[in-house]
Amino acid sequence: MTVSSAFDCHGHSGDEIFDAIVLGAGITGLVSASILHDLGCRNIAVIDEFENIGGNHIDRSINGYTFDIGSLIFQDDSPLLKYFPELLEHYVPIKPTWGKLTPQAFVTSYPLSIRDDIVRAGPWGIFRIVLSAAFSRVARRRIGNAREFARYWIGDYLLRRSGLESYMKRFFGVPADWVDLEFAEKRMLWIKEHASPRVLLRYVRRHRAPGPTNRQLARPREGFNALYEVAARTLRQRGSVFHLGERIESITRRGTQFDVRTGGRRLTAQRLISTIPIARTLALCGVREDPGLASVTLISLYFSFDGNRGFDCSILYNFAHDGAWKRLTMYSDFYGRVEGREYFGVEVIAGHANDSVTIAEQDFRAHVAKNGLFAGDLVCEGSQVVPCAYPIYTGQAHQRVSRALAQLADFGIESFGRQGGFDYQPTARVSTLNAAAHLMPTRTSDA
């Protein structure tokens, strides 16, 4: 592959000229580059201000442990493998289990346990749960935010007793009644599904749901970088050039051409795809209007441990009414111990710990000790702070997103993805399908 740098009628001397430029090297950016190659682009520039490929899928190797940020679990039928089938052999097959720490200080099944969330409430508690749910269905039919959405389906009493209301605030970073209904319906559809009579009856009868037909997979033991470098190698062979760790200075438009300036170069192309935060792209284009889109800043704490951890599941959510942490993942359940020690990562919304790693760690230690977890030698091996981890939908954010995307479209930029579309995408599957939906030409039948 060669990149043209000669002067022509569209470029200036010293330009690096491409068929397309992709901003962002996360999953959406990688899949976009692959699709653009399929559509006939021979040379593509992928630019990311991060030094790593994979976006917010970041790994950290510390003292022989490998920790990471981002969704850990993949499936062997993921559409991502359609574009990068060579990834499959690098995944690690796993059998994850999920649990939650309840406000009653015990660990049970996630997201809902009929036995522990309902039956353990006793006759009077069960009566209150049923009465509260019935009242919500009849008298509180107006649904305008995330809390009202959850309350409609399970009622006020179970919302508090199960700890779901506390977890929603811990996840969103703001009280649930601040969060737009559109986000609740996208992120919390499982509440509606689990509250249906058919599903509740299945729980009561202790009917075991059929297991997944796909295999659950995790990133390689070495970390995300080892995984995404495989995809990047394929893209390089097809004609992609990666510029990583380069700060983008500006985006300008000259006729049908886009110019992207970084610290030491100018790249030119007729097509520009953005998967980086919308506000950042607008600013690079010279649009100073702030769309006011809020995102979560995430603190990840990395621990090793020797002792009795107090639970068996590999992924544990915090549904207790206190404690800043929201989820922990036991990496050693998937990759084995290191010198006899377990190791895991903990996620904390930065705003719930005064934006302090120290406070986040102190709060976690105090909270798990209070709940009888991790009795033994608990060592914090390191931490990571990630801004723009995922979007928060408040104040009718979807309207501001639509306006901002329209401004970028008027400029000629195609912007989509978790960051580029301010679209909550919890898995690689969703990100892949979203990129394909935006880039693949729509086929229409003949008249």
Q: Which DSSP state fits 117?
A: I
Tokens of 354: 């005064």
Say how far apart CA 194 and CA 445 lie, in whole Å. 39
- Please report, for residues 21, 175, 272, 277, 414, the alpha-carbon distance to residue 251 in angstroms, rounded to integers and kept in the order given: 11, 37, 10, 14, 13
Mean pLDDT of the chain: 89
pLDDT of residue 396: 87
60: part of which helix (H) or strand (E)? strand 58-62
309 contacts: CB under 8 Å, gap ≥ 6: 330, 342, 373, 374, 375, 376
pLDDT of residue 5: 47
Contact 397, 181 (CB under 8 A): no
pLDDT of residue 207: 47
The 10s digit of each residue's pLDDT in 81-113 is 999 999 999 999 999 999 999 999 999 999 888
Q: How confident is the model at residue 11 (pLDDT cuts 50, 70, 90)?
A: very low
Largest CA distance in the chain: 81
Residue 122, classed as helix, strand or coil, is helix
Higher pLDDT, 143 or 46: 46
The 10s digit of each residue's pLDDT in 263-294 is 889 999 999 999 999 999 999 999 888 888 88
Residue 350's closest CA among 319, 380, 385, 381?
385
Can you give the length of the chain in residues?
A: 447
Q: Which residues pair with 414 in a beta bridge?
A: 273
The 10s digit of each residue's pLDDT in 62-86 is 999 999 887 788 999 999 999 999 9
Mean pLDDT value across residues 46-50: 95
The 10s digit of each residue's pLDDT in 241-263 is 999 999 999 999 999 999 999 98
pLDDT of residue 341: 98
Q: Which residues pair with 45 in a beta bridge?
A: 21, 241
The answer to whether the predicted template modeling score (pTM) of the entire model surpasses 0.85 is yes
Higher pLDDT, 267 or 142: 267
Q: How confident is the model at residue 446 (pLDDT cuts 50, 70, 90)?
A: very low
Higher pLDDT, 387 or 340: 340
Say how far apart CA 189 and CA 187 lie, in whole Å. 6
Q: Under CATH, to which class is 16-62+73-91+220-285+413-439 assigned? A: alpha beta
Residue 3's closest CA among 237, 234, 240, 252?
240
pLDDT of residue 264: 81
Q: Which residues pair with 67 in a beta bridge?
A: 60
Mean pLDDT value across residues 315-325: 96
Domain extent listing, the chain: 16-62+73-91+220-285+413-439, 113-204
Q: Which DSSP state fits 10?
A: S
Tokens of 339: 């010198």
Q: How confident is the model at residue 181 (pLDDT cuts 50, 70, 90)?
A: confident
